[in-house]
Amino acid sequence: MYILHGTWIPDESDTFIQSGQFYMWVETDTAHQRRSQRVHPGHLKKDELASFLQDTLKIEPLAAMSRAGKQTKPTIEPEIVSRYFLLPSDSKSPLPSWEMANYLETEIPEKIHWDYWEIHCYPVQLALSYSERVNNVIQLLHELYFLTQNRILDVQMGTDLLFWHQYTQELKQIIWRDQYIPALKYRSTTPRTSPTKGRKPKKAAAIVETLEIYSGWEIVSEQYETLVQAYTEMLPPFCSAGFISPPETHYIHDAKTLLQHFSESMLANIVMCTPRSTALNKKTLNTLLQDCLQKDNFDAFWDDEVGLAYYYQWREWRDRINQAQTPGAFILAFQLSEPEHSEGNWELAFQVAPQADPSQRIKLRDYWKTPVKKRKALRLGDEFEQGLLLHLGYAARIYPKLWQGMETDEPYEIALPLAEAFDFLQESA
């Protein structure tokens, strides 16, 4: 019996922008003799894991190996690495997973303790690269789910891998809808000047604040925030228990931070590995977008006033996007009315309605005629007029004719000839 396990493990580095890797390993019901006391006895070791992945799961290696100039059969074995997991254990060995314990009909001992165990893992690539064949986390997990659920193989997915499969399927929908933007991250550092060895400083060392601005990508979606919060509460503890090297103390990663790190890393890899045309590369040359798209530039940063100016401009732009996505106190609507005379223009009237009661629509023409003291009773929000201009501006990006109605400080309608009214109904309504 084979149980597939896997999870996301952040890299151990001192850099501000940290990467990570998704690792997969296989639990078996056959215990192996251990050369080291800290090696998990119930998992497929390096050579066995490589054969299982290639022959049973049909996973292809990244590249073919070559010896003495002769092409040989490619193998996954060089890609396999050792990672460490904090697992419930008895006095001698780690306990089997819940799935394996059910299969073996093993009873869980009353007293358990936690310890780190070395496990041979296969690192799954995050994004599809179009210059070489690699395995994508979303694609691979979905294929494994199909194989195990249809019992094509005598293999079962553990709760950890099932969790990641379900999460990646929902995260994929957000990324596929392009609900993300280029991002800048601000880091403030305050290094202290060290005194010369053997001498006592006459005055306290000065604190000099420095800044670092990093480029990247950010998911902008209320659905994403809800998704992370929901899956944080469902994340199996084992998903947070993987490490590059065994820590000195027993702990697991924070669930929410782990999900966010995985999601941001996946987004960055997918975007940066997407092929781009020569025309697009020329268009983004020497722009912020070019920095965000360079996959070899993830740890580069600005440390000057130019970078700081970029950051303030970007933050203002991001705040406007977030404000537009936040549900307001009112709804903006449009009503197209035919002219009284056949030769007249059509009228595209601007209307608003309170979010709490969308049926109570009011024309902006009537709103501006309403005395200021009575406008509060319309329940359109305290900052209605500012929000109205913002919503009209975003609508005008979809239908540029709306800019004509915003040439006055009290916009309420625009006039459209018959042909333009017809185009509006066909393309923008």
What one-letter code names the amino acid at 52? F
Q: At what angle do helices 255-273 and 159-176 cross, to 10 degrees?
A: 50
**Tens of pLDDT, residue by residue, the chain (429 residues):** 899 999 999 998 877 778 899 999 999 988 776 666 789 988 999 999 999 999 999 888 876 433 444 455 688 898 999 999 999 998 788 998 888 888 888 887 888 889 999 999 999 976 555 444 455 888 899 999 998 888 777 899 999 999 999 999 999 999 888 888 888 888 877 654 444 445 455 554 555 567 888 888 899 888 899 999 999 999 999 999 999 999 999 999 999 999 999 999 999 888 887 778 888 888 888 877 777 887 666 667 777 787 788 888 888 888 877 766 655 678 888 888 888 887 788 999 999 888 878 888 889 999 999 888 888 888 887 778 878 887 888 788 778 888 888 888 899 899 988 888 888 887 666
E strand map for 78-112: 81-89
Q: What are phi and psi of 90, to 5 degrees?
A: -100, -160
Phi–psi pair at 30, nearest 5 degrees: -105, 115
Cα(290)–Cα(278) distance, integer angstroms: 13
Distance (Å, rounded) from C-alpha 129 to C-alpha 111?
A: 47
Report residue 30 as tokens. 């056959």
Identify the pLDDT of residue 329.
Answer: 75
pTM, whole model, 2 decimals?
A: 0.71
Residue-level pLDDT at 64: 47
Which are the contacts of 358, defined by CB distance < 8 A and separation ≥ 6? Answer: 331
Report how far apart, in Å, the C-alpha atoms of 254 and of each of 41, 238, 286, 295 are: 28, 12, 38, 27
Instruction: Name 39's Cβ contacts closer than 8 Å, sequence gap at least 6.
Output: 117, 118, 119
Are 245 and 119 contacting, i.e. CB atoms less than 8 angstroms apart? no
What is the pLDDT at residue 191? 55
Distance CA 239, CA 9 (A): 9
Tokens of 95: 């306990």
How far are the Cα atoms of 91, 332, 359, 396 from residue 355, in angstroms, in the given order? 61, 10, 9, 21
47: tokens are 């050579």
Would you say 366 and 350 are in contact if contact means Cβ atoms under 8 Å apart?
Answer: no
Question: For position 19, what pLDDT does the model report?
Answer: 86
DSSP for 229-278, please give it. HHHHHH--GGGG-EESS--SS-----HHHHHHHHHHHHHHHHHHHS---H
What is the pLDDT, as a whole number, of residue 299?
66
Helix boundaries (H) for 64-221: 98-104, 137-149, 159-176
Phi and psi of 211, rounded to 5°?
A: -125, 155
Query: What's the distance, Cα to Cα, between the start and end of the chain in Å?
Result: 58
Residues in contact with 241: Cβ distance below 8 Å, sequence separation at least 6, in sequence order: 7, 85, 86, 87, 252, 253
Closest CA to 126 of 178, 172, 166: 172
3-class secondary-structure state, position 276: coil
**E-strand spans in 190-323?**
210-219, 242-243, 301-302
Which amino acid does the sequence have at 143? E
Six token digits for residue 396: 């005008």
What distance in Å separates the CA atoms of residue 275 and residue 226, rounded to the nearest whole number? Answer: 30
- What is residue 194's predicted lDDT score, i.e. its pLDDT? 46
Residue 266 CB contacts under 8 Å (≥ 6 apart), including other chains: 126, 127, 137, 138, 168, 171, 175
The span from the CA of 362 to the CA of 374, in Å, is 14
Q: What is the pLDDT of residue 359?
A: 84
Pair 72, 66: CB distance under 8 Å:
yes
* 347 token code pair: 């009228």
The Cα 89–Cα 111 span in angstroms is: 9
Segment 115-163, tens digit of pLDDT: 999 999 999 976 555 444 455 888 899 999 998 888 777 899 999 999 9
